[in-house]
Amino acid sequence: MSDKGFTIWFTGLSGSGKSTIAEMLYHELKARELKTEILDGDEVRKNLSKGLGFSKEDRDTNIARIAYVANLLTRNGVATICCPISPYRATRDAARELIGDFVEVYVHATVDEIAAHRDPKGLYKKALAGEITGFTGVDDPYEEPLEPELVLRTLDESPEESLQNVLTRLEELGRIQDAAPRVSGDRVHSGMTDLRVGDDGTVTKEH
C-alpha cells in the first residue's frame, strides 16, 4: 500500500454517529500504520474557527477551513478523517474538488430517530419545540449527499457494523488493503473528537 493520503468525509446530522465511527476508524487506520488525523467539526470550531457563529456564511467558512487543512494533510500522505455536519451540498462538493482524493460517507439518521433515541441533552426536542433556532435539520436545512461513496444507516447498524462497511468500501476503493477489523475492545480516546471519555481514558460507548 502506498503512503498516498486521502480524505474520508463523514457528513450527517448532529447525533447521527459521525464522531463515533470516526474514532473507531482512526484506530483501525493507525493499526495499519497509516499517518492519520481527525478533523472534528466541534473541535475545529474551538480552535481554528473560534468566534464563528452558525449563519450559513459562518458554517461555510468553517467547512472551507476544514477542507483547506484536510487538503494539506492529504497532500502530505495523511489519511484524514473529517466529521463535521457540513449541511450544505455546495461546500462539500467544493471540498471534494479541492482535495481530490475524497471519500464522502453519509451517516444517515432522521431528526425523529435521533430525537427519540440519541438526544441526551434534549437539544432536538428543544429545537422541535421552537426553544432553539437555527438548528440543522429542524429549522436550518441539511442537504443530503446525492452520490456519496457510502451511506451508513446508524439507527439500524451497530457501530461495529458501520465501521465494517467503511473498511470494506475503503478496500474496494483501493485506500486500504484489508478490510478485516484489527482493533477490538475499548479504544483510548484520540483527543480529536468531542466524544465522552471514561475515567480510564477510553471512549464512553454511546450506543
Q: What residues make up the domain containing 124?
A: 6-172
pLDDT at 53 (0 to 100) = 79
Mean pLDDT for all residues in the chain: 88
Confidence of residue 1 (pLDDT cuts 50, 70, 90): very low
Give the mean pLDDT of 72-95: 96
In a domain? residue 49: yes
Q: What is the CATH number of the domain that holds 100?
A: 3.40.50.300
In a domain? residue 17: yes
pLDDT at 46 (0 to 100) = 77
What are the cell numbers at 96? 471534494
Task: Report the C-alpha gap between 27 and 142 in whole angstroms.
Answer: 29
Q: Is residue 85 pLDDT above 80, yes or no?
A: yes
The one-letter code for the residue type at 50 is K
In a domain? residue 185: no
Question: CA torsion, points 37, 41, 43, 45, in degrees to nearest 10?
Answer: 130
User: Do 13 and 85 meet the contact criterion of CB atoms below 8 Å apart?
Assistant: yes
In a domain? residue 136: yes
pLDDT at 73 (0 to 100) = 97
Task: Report the C-alpha gap between 148 and 102 in whole angstroms.
Answer: 10
User: Do 13 and 111 meet the contact criterion of CB atoms below 8 Å apart?
Assistant: yes
Q: Is residue 39 pLDDT above 70, yes or no?
A: yes
Task: Beginning with the edge strand found earlier in the chain, give each strand of the sheet holding 79-82 in spatial order.
Answer: 36-39, 79-82, 6-11, 102-108, 150-153
Catalytic option among 16, 86, 162, 190: 86
Catalytic (active site) residue 2: no
In a domain? residue 1: no
What are the cell numbers at 171? 478496500
pLDDT at 206 (0 to 100) = 47
